[in-house]
Amino acid sequence: MKILVCISKVPDTTTKISFVENDTKFNEDKVQFIVNPYDEWYALVRALEITEKSGGTVTIINVGSADNDQIIRKALAIGANDSVRIDGNSNESFYVASQIAEYAKTQGYDIVMTGKETIDYNGAEVGGMIAELMGVPYVSHASTLDVEGGKATMKRNIEGGYETVEVTGTFVVSCQKGMAEARIPNMRGIMAARTKPLTVVAPVNVAQLTSIKVFTLPPAKAAVKMISPDNVAELVNLLHTEAKVI
Amino acid sequence: MSVLIYADTINGKVKKSSLEAIHYGSKVASLLGTNAVALVVNSSDNLAELGKYGAAKVLKVTNDKLNSFDPQLLTAAIAQAANSAGAKVVVFAHDSTGKSLASRLSARSKAGLVSGATSLPNIDGGNFILRKNVFSGKAYADINILTDEKVISLMPNSFPVVATDASAEVADFSADLSGITSTLVVKEVNRASASGVAPLPEAELVVSAGRGMKGPENWGMIEDLANVLGATTACSRPVADIGWRPHHEHVGQTGIAIRPNLYIAIGISGAIQHLAGVNQSKVIVVINKDPEAPFFKAADYGIVGDAFEIVPKLIEAFKTLKASNN
């Protein structure tokens, strides 16, 4: 079983968001970057569980500059066997997906895993794009994944419930909560990660489909209106006459 | 030229989020001086009714291969329909099906995608700029689609549906899926469909509760409150993790992100990960006995008090309002 896990570098969840260059670029100054949590906690850890049980290898793939090596080493410390960084520099989903698909096509992976979305651009786009470019099935928002005798079974979350899906052959899956529990790398893992392979691959040319014009911060929220616990009817009245939501 | 909207169905009925997408698509079509065409698969509904929401035409696909959700096959069918309708823009609802389809179609057609759009396009000066939320609701990005063909997935509850008396022309469309072998099989669809209540991402009114409720046995009053309002119930992460409530109710960063008109949070402190899933709600009410709960900072209305005292009073007050409106 050969599994490819796609990871993205994102600002830590608690980061205060600001922009530079006339609000066209995210301000990376003093920002703590992490492996996108869905990629790490769910896709990577489940991939490791599967190969620990049934054998095989887990390869990490990331698209970005050498600045990203730090998060790739983190993923290796958690337990992945080796890693590939495609030396491209674009945050656009189609660019990232094209690079990964182009590489994955030649390597014979059984499963390509992503998180359900990244916590920066919240696109939920890359997994579906990779699948289409590879011409294979895509299962999004999976909360379980089991592989038995060449057949993969997944539960995917849908509005108000779930679907159980089976796939044979290569496929792409986006992972969410339920898949696995986060793992903290131990000292041995961190030491081993330093010498695990990190192959740098040149990017292919990809046409740009979209461009970010400007970022805006939401207007400051008006102060909360506090209502006395003895006057609950006042809240209902305000929701009806002032907020007009009921 | 046209704008094509993929209208998703549950048990043959077009979803509310897809009706919003049709209405939105018809607005995009008027901006571009063209018509909205809706695509519906394997539905026995009266599809001429989609004209009410702005579709001039409905393409009706009947194909056994599309009985269960297979994004690979369905994307191929949508691409064929888009081609046949001369669609320059294809619109989806940004939900569990739309997310899979929009990304596949974008890659297939090399058409720029804005997912989770919350605005109509600004087409001044030959641009096609859409707004979406980024950084888990902490900022907006205005994104320009550079390609001639465009794909949009529309955030549910961003465009209220406005119905008219219009009727749509319905035409059969036959998709040729013979060239694709998919290895995906849907074995089971399990939808806990509380009758008449909208599923979470579509819900306009949401009543949500957290650890402050002390145990699953106390959820009766949360459900009563939701019933009085016609709201959908939700919960915080710890509550889903310890099994007090089902996982599909969990809203927040690791659960689902929602943007209802009204979000009532009861006994939820408001960790940043929870806020990431609900901060796009139009009005937030927080009820918590801890006056220092961080959630109050993100709320529009707040009550400091014990849920076990406040919620029953709230149910009575909503009942009174309902009675006086009848």
CATH number for the B2-172 domain, one of 3.40.980.10, 3.40.50.620, 3.40.50.300, 1.10.760.10? 3.40.50.620
- Indicate the SS3 state at residue A4: strand
Note the pLDDT tens digit of each residue in B20-56.
999 999 999 999 999 999 999 999 899 999 999 999 9
pTM for the complete prediction?
Answer: 0.94
pLDDT for the residue B12: 87
- Can you tell me the mean pLDDT for B10-16? 91
User: What is d(CA A9, CA A85) in angstroms, rounded to the nearest whole number?
Assistant: 12
- Can you tell me the mean pLDDT for B145-159? 96
Q: Give the DSSP H or E segment for A83.
A: strand A82-86
pLDDT for the residue B195: 57
**Mean per-residue pLDDT over chain B, rounded:** 95
pLDDT for the residue B287: 98
- Can you tell me the mean pLDDT for B81-108? 97
Where are the CATH 3.40.50.1220 domain residues in chain B? 200-325
Domains of chain A: 2-215 (3.40.50.620)
In the predicted structure, residue B255 carries a pLDDT above the cut 70 = yes
User: What is d(CA B183, CA B185) in angstroms, rounded to the nearest whole number?
Assistant: 7
List of chain B residues whose C-beta atoms are within 8 Å of the C-beta of residue A166: 184-185, 187
pLDDT for the residue B247: 87
| Cβ(B225)–Cβ(B267) below 8 Å | no
Beta bridge partners of A216: B140
The torsion of the CA quartet B317, B318, B322, B324, rounded to 10 degrees, works out to 20
Domain B200-325 class in CATH: alpha beta
| Cβ(B57)–Cβ(B86) below 8 Å | no
Where are the CATH 3.40.50.620 domain residues in chain B? 2-172
DSSP assignment, residue B59? E
Q: Are the Cβ atoms of A124 and B70 closer than 8 angstroms?
A: no
List of chain B residues whose C-beta atoms are within 8 Å of the C-beta of residue A154: none
% pLDDT > 90, chain A: 93
Note the pLDDT tens digit of each residue in B279-322.
999 999 999 999 999 999 999 999 999 999 999 999 999 999 99
Q: Are the Cβ atoms of B183 and A167 closer than 8 angstroms?
A: yes
Note the pLDDT tens digit of each residue in A174-211.
999 999 999 999 999 999 999 999 999 999 999 999 99
In the predicted structure, residue B194 carries a pLDDT above the cut 60 = no
Question: Mind telling me how many Å the CA of B19 is from chain A's nearest CA?
Answer: 16
Q: Are the Cβ atoms of B95 and A224 closer than 8 angstroms?
A: no
Note the pLDDT tens digit of each residue in A39-85.
999 999 999 999 999 999 999 999 999 999 999 999 999 999 999 99
The torsion of the CA quartet B234, B236, B237, B243, rounded to 10 degrees, works out to -60
Question: Which of B23, B48, B47 minimizes the C-alpha distance to B36?
Answer: B23
